[in-house]
Amino acid sequence: MEDGSVDAKVLGEARELIAEHRADCLWFLGSDAIPADGPSIVRLLQKIERHSDRATYQKARRLRECLSRNSSATSAASSL
């Protein structure tokens, strides 16, 4: 599997988790706060981690770590 498809899959899963938990974990944000890029998705996943139950925390953390790992690798490669 290519890196791009992994990123797209993880981004899709993250967006689904954010949508699913907007009312219970992100209630303090406006409903128009839609993540457009990786860094904004990572920030929302961090907020979900802080305001969720254990199972949701674990999902959000796994997705955030995948996104952070991929973006770090991209950043390191671009600095060569």
Q: What are the residue boundaries of the structural domains of the chain, listed by start?
A: 3-72
Question: What's residue 68's pLDDT?
Answer: 86
* Number of Cα atoms under 13 Å in the Cβ half of residue 43: 9
Question: What's residue 3's pLDDT?
Answer: 53
- Which of 38, 4, 1, 46 lies closest to 21 in space, CA to CA? 46
- The rounded mean pLDDT for the chain is 83
Which residues, at least 6 apart from 42, have a Cβ–Cβ distance to it below 8 Å?
64, 67, 68, 71
pTM, rounded to two decimals: 0.78
Q: Using CA atoms, how far apart are residues 50 and 74, in angstroms rounded to an integer?
A: 27
List alpha helices for the chain, DSSP H: 3-20, 22-25, 38-50, 54-78
Q: Which is more confident, 5 or 27?
A: 27
